[in-house]
């Protein structure tokens, strides 16, 4: 990275005391997991591929559920390995500056790379678990996928026979309120918000960016395509995240300066 914007990005990271990171699908593409809305994204190539992402379609149409479960059999998530971007964030955490990773990804690769699970907030849930839409029972996804591999096209809940679904947040479902509260606190409690590999087109995740900016954080956006929030960022990089994040994680802290937290928004009057 040799541009003026890249130099500004390095300076931001060097001066940061508390970094919060917001990641999206672009962070995992180098691990063989396609993104959704990019030029070669899953939904860009196949408009019907997103049907299973709608909770209404999933609940009302058994055919959609069958397609969704069949797709899980061959999901690249099961064999994906963390890439340089995931590992770079682990190094940034070990430097003591990265406090929280907020991710829209459901693949678990941040934790697999070595990120402290307590520092990773999975806004959209995880593909590695299942939940019953009737009784709320949860379980490992591997058990459900095994049932599909053995011939069940639409495995149901073994406790109540309700509809079984991955523990991910589909369109039409609300995010976990506590996870969202912690994510908002994390962007208020940072001096730099590093946004990597997300188009910032899905709310409420995208709304974390202007929230951080209004609270005084410097926003650094790295994404292949422009985002709706580039204008609130201090620095925007249209560079591969697999190259940018390792470079930024290697920047030593400059020291100096002071940082004051805004505190827990639930205590504001």
Tens-level pLDDT at each residue, the chain (269 residues): 558 999 999 999 999 999 999 999 999 999 999 976 555 545 444 455 555 579 999 999 999 999 999 999 999 999 999 999 999 999 999 999 999 999 999 999 999 999 999 999 999 999 999 999 999 999 999 999 999 999 999 999 999 999 999 999 999 999 999 999 999 999 999 999 999 999 999 999 999 999 999 999 999 999 999 999 999 999 999 999 999 999 999 999 986 544 444 544 444 43
CA dihedral 193, 182, 263, 89 (to 10 degrees): -30
Q: What distances in angstroms separate CA 219 from CA 195, 208, 227, 259, 260, one per listed residue?
A: 7, 11, 13, 15, 17
**Structure token pair of residue 117:** 């699970």
Active-site positions? 124
74-97 in b/e form (b: 16+ CB < 10 A) is: eeebeebebbbbbbbbbbbbebeb
Collapsing DSSP to helix, strand or coil, 164 comes out as strand
State pTM to two decimals: 0.89
* Residue 92, CB-side half-sphere exposure with 13 Å CA sphere: 31
Residues 6+ apart with CB under 8 A from 61: 51
Q: What pLDDT is stored for residue 247 in this prediction?
A: 96
Domains, the chain, ordered by start: 4-33+82-124+176-255 (3.40.50.1220), 42-78+127-168 (3.30.1600.10)
**Structure token pair of residue 132:** 């019953």
Q: What pLDDT is stored for residue 254 in this prediction?
A: 85
Order the strands of the 120-122 sheet from edge to edge.
Answer: 120-122, 98-103, 19-23, 192-196, 218-222, 235-237
Nearest CA to 15 out of 218, 241, 260 is that of: 218
Q: What pLDDT is stored for residue 53 in this prediction?
A: 77
Classify strands 125-132 and 164-168 as parallel, antiparallel or unpaired: antiparallel
Q: What pLDDT is stored for residue 268 in this prediction?
A: 42
Q: What pLDDT is stored for residue 212 in this prediction?
A: 98
Q: What pLDDT is stored for residue 42 in this prediction?
A: 52
Place of tokens 């506590």: 178
Phi-psi region of 150 (alpha: psi -120 to 50; beta: other; left: phi over 0): alpha
Q: What pLDDT is stored for residue 175 in this prediction?
A: 96
Q: What pLDDT is stored for residue 66 in this prediction?
A: 96
Spell out where the chain has E strands.
19-23, 98-103, 120-122, 125-132, 138-140, 164-168, 192-196, 218-222, 235-237
For residues 227 and 231, give the distance between their C-alpha atoms in angstroms, rounded to a whole number.
9
């Amino acid at each position: 990275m040799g541009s003026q914007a890249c130099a500004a990005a390095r300076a931001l990271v060097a001066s940061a005391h508390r970094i919060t990171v917001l990641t999206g699908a672009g962070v995992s593409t180098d691990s063989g997991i396609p993104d959704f809305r990019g030029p070669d994204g899953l939904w860009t190539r196949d408009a019907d591929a997103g049907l299973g992402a709608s909770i209404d379609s999933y609940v009302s149409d058994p055919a959609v559920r069958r397609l969704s479960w069949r797709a899980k059999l061959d999901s690249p998530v099961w064999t994906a390995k963390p890439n340089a971007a995931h590992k770079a964030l682990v190094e940034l955490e070990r430097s003591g500056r990265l406090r929280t990773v907020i991710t829209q990804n459901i693949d678990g690769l941040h934790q697999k790379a070595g990120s402290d699970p307590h520092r990773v907030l999975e806004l959209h849930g995880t593909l590695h678990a299942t939940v019953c839409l009737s009784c709320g029972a949860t379980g490992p996804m591997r058990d459900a996928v095994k049932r599909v591999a053995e011939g069940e096209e639409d495995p149901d809940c073994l406790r109540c026979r309700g509809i079984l679904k991955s523990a991910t947040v589909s369109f039409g479902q609300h995010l976990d309120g506590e996870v969202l509260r912690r994510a908002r606190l994390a962007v208020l409690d940072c001096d730099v918000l590093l946004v990597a590999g997300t188009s910032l087109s899905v709310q409420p995740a995208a709304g974390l960016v202007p929230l951080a900016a209004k609270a005084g954080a410097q926003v650094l956006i790295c994404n292949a395509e422009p985002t709706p929030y580039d204008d609130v960022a201090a620095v925007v990089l249209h560079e591969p995240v697999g190259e940018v994040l390792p470079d930024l994680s290697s920047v030593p802290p400059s020291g100096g300066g002071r940082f004051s937290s805004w505190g827990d928004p639930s205590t504001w009057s």
